[in-house]
Structures are given as C-alpha cells and as structure tokens.
Amino acid sequence: MKKVPLVTLLTLCFQMLIAQGIDSLGLQLQKIVDTTEIPGFAVAVVGKDRILYKKGFGFADVEQGIPYTDKTIHNIGSTTKTLIAFSLMKLVDEGKISLDDPINKYLPFKVVHPSFPESDITIRQLATHTSSLTDGVDDLLIEKSYLFHGPINFKKEELPEDYFDYFEIYQTNHAVSMSEFLKNIYTPEGAWYESSNFLEVSPGTAYHYTNIGATLLAFIIEQVSLTDFAEYTKQILFGPLNMSHSFWALDAVPKDVLASLYLSNGLKIPHYELITYPDGGLFTNISDFSVYLMEMIKGINGESSLLSTTWYTEMMQNQLTGKNFPKGSFETSKGLMWSVNPEGDNISVNGADPGVMSYTLFTTQGNVGIVIFMNKTIYDNEELESAFKAIRATLFQNAGKLMKR
C-alpha cells in the first residue's frame, strides 16, 4: 500500500473541508429551489480579485429539463442601467461631457418641461432620476418598448392578475428607432406626447424612477461618443473585461444557453427585446456579470484601469437629499443609476421584467459582492418574493466565510 505524506494528507483534508463548506451553501440554495416554484437561478459571490462562488440551480427550461448553469443567458432588466452610468462616467473622465450640462446641449431635438420651460434638465438629473421625466400615466409608455419574438395572444385567465393590459399593448408594438421612440414621448410633435410625461415639479426637485429617462441618457451618450450605445459598451467594457457572453441583440445569443422565461404563475412566454434596450435589455450570464461586478469593486478601491477612481466614487456616492424623496419612501439616497444606502457602504441595483429578476449588491467595507439572476417574475407573488429574499439572505450569510478562504 502506498503511503501518503502527512503534508499531502493535511492538504487534502483542508481542501475537503473547504469543499464541504461551499457544498453547504449549494445545499442551502438547492433546498430553496426544491421547496418553491422557482424554475431556475444562478448566484455568484465575488471579491475584487476573484470569483468566490458561482453556481446555477434548477432549470433554464423546465419542460425540456435543461439545467440552469453559470453559463445560462437571459435579459436582466434594470440592472442593465448601471452600464449607462459607467458609459457616462467614461465620457466625463475623457472630458467630453459634464454631469451638470443641460441635456439639450447634446440632443438633436429639444426636451423641455412644458410647465417649467426656463429650467434646464441636466445630465446628472437623468442619471439620478430627478429630471421630472416620467414613463407616462401609470408608467404605461415604457410598455410600448417591448418587442416579442413569438405569439403573445394569451387569454386573460392565462395571465397573472394585471398582466392582460400589458400584453394587449405588447401586441400592438412595432420597431422604431430609439430616437423616434424618445421624440414620440418627450417632444410636442410626438405621437404620445402628454403633459403627464412630466412631473408637476421643476427638474431637479423630486426623485421619480423613469426607464425612458434613462434611455434618453443612453441616447445622449451615443451623440457624444458618436457611437451606437451597444457598440460603445462593447468597446469600453465587454472587450476589456473579456465579457464574451454578453449581448444586446436576442439573435446574437447562442440558443443552447438561452433560458426560457416564466411569469409568476408558471406561464412560459416568448423572448423579447426592447426599443429602449439600454434601460433593461442586456442579455448576459452570471459568469460575465461577476467579472463586471469585480471591476466595480476594484474601481471603488482605486484598482481599475478602465476609469479613474474619482468617477467610480462619483457614480456610487449619494447624489440626493431627503427632500428629493416623497414622504415615507423606502429610498432616501441615490447614486448615478446605482442605489446607495444612507451610510454609503452598500451599493446595489435590481432588475425585473417579464420572466426575469436580477439583483446585485456589494459592500465597500468588506469588498465583497453578490449577484442573483432568475428566469421568473416574482414581484406579484408573495411566495416567490419570500424565496428570492431567502436566496439573498443565504448569500449574505455565507459571503464573509467565502472571503476568508
């Protein structure tokens, strides 16, 4: 019988203990999948120098039994908006734009608040959702952006409550350019222009989340960079970070890794793209996005080669005061497209769209971050919301342990 050296034996035992600890996290997460109606999800825990943990659970396609892995791709909703912020700060870093410039300095058409025509809307206001722009009455104008790749003539009883009105809008949508879409909403000659597309307060006064306002900022980035937004992000992010599994077009996504999408009641829906794709239309996987998050953590620590530390700090520090938020708001602070807690040490963003959910958070104290991607809508289902919170809490509880390994 061969003898195993003591040092080798101890090393093997240590590695087994580490593996058991990591497997313990996997077992905890698998239990959540097994006891809920979540089809599939992936998680990652990252530090600024390495990916500490990443794994997929459940199914990318339930009916076909295709596993959800760390290579599974789908759109990630509003988490996409952080790429608008990074792209903006890249142009600021290069001296091509300033945060407090009026937006009409760069637009080929004018956007003016009808009740406050003398008050300029600024770049910073778009980036902090204080521009006074809205997504229309009940936010219904953003629904005109969804372009489905498949039949969606569902009966009302097939859909979760309140979804039928959205899908009626989706059936009438047709492709137009980002420029035309924005002009239709925010210029007086536009087809959908209404005074309700603006808050009844002057620009810079009140926080009001707007997807279309974020897209307007991305459109300005195109004007300043003289480059299509999708191409610009490839040049400044996807290329340098080797994010080769991140896409802006559905047709570019390899079909063998594309997740199916499910509404909260389990209904499978076709894939879709957005006219306003910079506000929520990034297709990516947990592996690529983990690399992106690592770069953000490096950036806040002055270790990124992509952007000056000054502008990482500006992007992720609070830009607003309590006066900007409505009374009783759960948010009391905001960075540039990123959410920031009042203490400034937790930076986060989440995204939700039909059939998808995403969440990202990192702490500047421990330099550790988490990512969750899921191929199901959760916000209209208490059980699914609870399951998502359980996944998030489990990652929080284990992140510190993973950092020590």
The pLDDT assigned to 303 comes to 96
pLDDT tens per residue, range 377-390: 999 999 999 999 99
The pLDDT assigned to 233 comes to 99
The pLDDT assigned to 330 comes to 78
Confirm if 262 and 376 have CB atoms less than 8 A apart: yes
The pLDDT assigned to 332 comes to 79
Residue 250, SS3 per DSSP = helix
The pLDDT assigned to 269 comes to 99
The pair of structure tokens assigned to 32 is 């959540």
The pLDDT assigned to 20 comes to 45
Distances (CA, A) of 201 to 109, 110, 207, 212: 22, 19, 10, 18
The pLDDT assigned to 16 comes to 41
Confirm if 241 and 228 have CB atoms less than 8 A apart: no
The pLDDT assigned to 17 comes to 40
Exposed / middle / buried, residue 129 (Cβ in 10 Å: 0-12, 13-18, 19+):
buried
d(CA 338, CA 319): 10
The pLDDT assigned to 1 comes to 39
Backbone angles phi, psi at 113, to 5 degrees: -65, 120
| Helix (H) / strand (E) containing 10 | helix 6-34
Range 40-403: architecture per CATH: 3-Layer(aba) Sandwich (3.40)
The pLDDT assigned to 327 comes to 83
* DSSP state letter for 31: H
The pLDDT assigned to 355 comes to 98
Q: What is the pLDDT along the chain (405 residues), one digit of tens a residue?
A: 333 343 333 333 334 444 444 468 999 999 999 999 999 999 999 999 999 999 999 999 999 999 999 999 999 999 999 999 999 999 999 999 999 999 999 999 999 999 999 999 999 999 999 999 999 999 999 999 999 999 999 999 999 988 999 999 999 999 999 999 999 999 999 999 999 999 999 999 999 999 999 999 999 999 999 999 999 999 999 999 999 999 999 999 999 999 999 999 999 999 999 999 999 999 999 999 999 999 999 999 999 999 999 999 999 999 999 899 988 887 778 999 999 998 888 999 999 999 999 999 999 877 999 999 999 999 999 999 999 999 999 999 999 889 887
The pLDDT assigned to 364 comes to 85
The pLDDT assigned to 110 comes to 98
The pLDDT assigned to 342 comes to 87
Rounded to the nearest angstrom, the gap between the alpha carbon of residue 126 and the centroid of all alpha carbons in its chain is 17
The pair of structure tokens assigned to 371 is 């990512």
Distant-in-sequence, close-in-space partners of 181: CB < 8 Å, separation ≥ 6: 144, 145, 212, 215, 275, 276
Whether the model pTM is above 0.85: yes
